[in-house]
C-alpha cells in the first residue's frame, strides 16, 4: 500500500495540462470497485450529486455526515486497489470545514473538490474568504501529514449570473492560493459552457482546469479535443453524476424486461 503522502504527490502529478487526469466519478463501494478494477483507472473520485441520490437526498441536502459515510465506504475500495481518492466535498460545510477535512484525511483521502457557493448563506463566498478556505484545507491536510493534498477549486460564478471574467479571476485566485486545478462550473440550468468559453478558460488559467466530459447528450467536447483546447489543453476531466444517471436508466430498463417476462 502506497503511503498516503506519496499518493497525494502522485495524484497532484497526474494533473498535467494537455495530458489530463480522467476521472469517472463514483458514488458507493459497488461503483468504486467497478472503476478501480479497470487498469486505466489512475484515481478514484466521488460525485456529491450521485452520493446524495444514493442516500435519498437532493444534492443541496447532502450533509457532512452522509458524505463522510459514503467516503468511508469508497475509501475501503481505494485502499484495496491502492488508488488515490479525492472526494467531492461540496462547499466544505461552513464552519465544519476543518473537522471535515481532518476526517477525510483520516479515511485516506488525498484530495477534495471544494465549491465557492456557500449553501448556508445562499450565495458565493467573497473571493478572499474562498481563498482563505482553500488555504485552510491545505493547512489542515499538511498538519495531518499530507502536504501535497489536492484541491480542485470549483467556482459557481457563471451559474449565478456573474461574467466569465469574474469566473476566470476567481479561478486564478484559487490557483494562487494553492489549488491544483480550477473548475468553472457552467451548470445544467445555464447549459454548461461553450467551446469558446472553455478555450479561453484553459488559455488564461494555463491549462490548470477541470472540465466535465458530457456523455448524456451529443455534441460535447471529446477527450482528444480537450487535450489541446486553448493551445495548452486541460489538466483534469471528470464526468460528475453521469455514470450514475446512465446506470439507473439501465437498471430500470432491465427490471422492466424482467417484469414483462422478456428473455435475456
- Specify if 264 maps to a domain: no
- Specify if 40 maps to a domain: yes
- Specify if 8 maps to a domain: yes
- Specify if 199 maps to a domain: yes
| pLDDT at res. 22 | 98
- Specify if 92 maps to a domain: yes
For residue 24, what are the domain limits?
4-259
| CATH number of the domain bearing residue 20 | 3.20.20.60
- Taking the chain (264 residues) in consecutive chunks of 10 residues, what is each chunk's mean pLDDT? 96 98 98 98 98 96 97 98 98 98 98 96 96 98 98 97 97 98 89 92 98 82 95 97 95 96 84
How many domains, the chain? Answer: 1
Prediction pTM value? 0.96
- Specify if 196 maps to a domain: yes
Residue 186: closest CA among 172, 197, 202: 197
| pLDDT at res. 216 | 63
Non-local CB neighbours of 205 within 8 Å, separated by 6+ positions:
168, 171, 172, 175, 182
Provide the β-strand partners of residue 183. Answer: 154, 210
Non-local CB neighbours of 189 within 8 Å, separated by 6+ positions:
159
- Specify if 184 maps to a domain: yes
- Cα 81 from Cα 103, distance rounded (Å): 21
Residue 89: closest CA among 102, 78, 76: 102
Amino acid at each position: 500500500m502506497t503511503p498516503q503522502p506519496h499518493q497525494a504527490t502522485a495524484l497532484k502529478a497526474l494533473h498535467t495540462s494537455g495530458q489530463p487526469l480522467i476521472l469517472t466519478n463514483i458514488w458507493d463501494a459497488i461503483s468504486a470497485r467497478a472503476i478501480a478494477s479497470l487498469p486505466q483507472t489512475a484515481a478514484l473520485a466521488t460525485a456529491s450529486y450521485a452520493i446524495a441520490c444514493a442516500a435519498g437526498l437532493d444534492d443541496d441536502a447532502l450533509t457532512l455526515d452522509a458524505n463522510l459515510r459514503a467516503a468511508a465506504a469508497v475509501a475501503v475500495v481505494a485502499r484495496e486497489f491502492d488508488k488515490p481518492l479525492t472526494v467531492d466535498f461540496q462547499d466544505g460545510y461552513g464552519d465544519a470545514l476543518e473537522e471535515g477535512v481532518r476526517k477525510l484525511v483520516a479515511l485516506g483521502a488525498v484530495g477534495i473538490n471544494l465549491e465557492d457557493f456557500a449553501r448556508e448563506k445562499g450565495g458565493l463566498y467573497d473571493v478572499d474568504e474562498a481563498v482563505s478556505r482553500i488555504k485552510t484545507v491545505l493547512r489542515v491536510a499538511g498538519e495531518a501529514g499530507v502536504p501535497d493534498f489536492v484541491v480542485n477549486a470549483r467556482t459557481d460564478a457563471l451559474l449565478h449570473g456573474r461574467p466569465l471574467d469574474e469566473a476566470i479571476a476567481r479561478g486564478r485566485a484559487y490557483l494562487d492560493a494553492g489549488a491544483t486545478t480550477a473548475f468553472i462550473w457552467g451548470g445544467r440550468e445555464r447549459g454548461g459552457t461553450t467551446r469558446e468559453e472553455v478555450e479561453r478558460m484553459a488559455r488564461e488559467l494555463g491549462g490548470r482546469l477541470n472540465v466535465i466530459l458530457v456523455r448524456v447528450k451529443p455534441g460535447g467536447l471529446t477527450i482528444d479535443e480537450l487535450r489541446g483546447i486553448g493551445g495548452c489543453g486541460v489538466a483534469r476531466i471528470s464526468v460528475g453524476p453521469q455514470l450514475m444517471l446512465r446506470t439507473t436508466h439501465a437498471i430500470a430498463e432491465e427490471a422492466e424486461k424482467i417484469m414483462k417476462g422478456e428473455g435475456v
